[in-house]
A = this chain, B = another copy of it.
Amino acid sequence: MTDSTTPIRFVTGNPHKVDEVRAALDRPIEQVTFDYPEIQADTIEAVAEAGAREAYNHLGGDHPLIVEDSGLRIDALGGFPGPYSSYIEGTLGIERVWHLTEREDDRTASFVSVIAYIADDDVITFTGRVTGTIVAPRGRAGFGYDPIFEVDGRTLAERTTAEKNELSHRGQAIASFATWLDDQSR
């Protein structure tokens, strides 16, 4: 068991994600850059869980830690591209992902973010989700799949960063982790 002053390690190369977690949590957060291998699995949850175990074993289990993994799931395509979102973006590209989805009646998709927390060998995952629709690319802001992901009539690439953050799948995952952590220390 760890008390509420023990720092939580966040294994990530991305300082913006660390800021986001720091702002939401009442606990010291220590960024650790360690490039843990991501396994092949059918779900983003499974990839994050294995990553957390890998990092925990490698770094030594004296501090609890979190990892975050995210991706796009298209319902009619069995959750594709899911855990392989970044590989698919780099090989097929988002235009082809649109053409694949264009043939389907149901174009519902979700952006999913998973935080996996490990302490004392137990892993718990927290999932955030934003639901939208796959459309032909529109807009110039953002990155990745933003131009083909529409929520309430606008793609994520047609929003400012602040507007996009209000919809954040990652923000939701962080918030549910923060609530759980807070309950633990009562």
How many chain A residues have a CB neighbour from B under 8 Å? 23
User: Which DSSP category, helix, strand, loop or mixed, fits chain A's interface?
Assistant: helix
Q: Assuming A38-B39, A39-B38, A84-B84, is B92 touching A77 (CB within 8 A)?
A: yes
Flag whether A60 is at the interface (Cβ < 8 A).
no
In the assembled complex, A185 has its CB within 8 A of some CB on chain B: no
Contact A40 B87 (CB under 8 A): yes
A78-B91, A78-B92, A96-B103 are known; give 14 further A-B pairs, CB within 8 A: A37-B40, A38-B39, A39-B39, A39-B40, A40-B40, A40-B47, A40-B83, A40-B84, A77-B92, A79-B91, A84-B84, A84-B87, A92-B100, A96-B100
| Residue positions of A touching B, CB distance < 8 A | 37-40, 42, 47, 50, 77-80, 82-84, 87-88, 90-92, 96, 99-100, 103
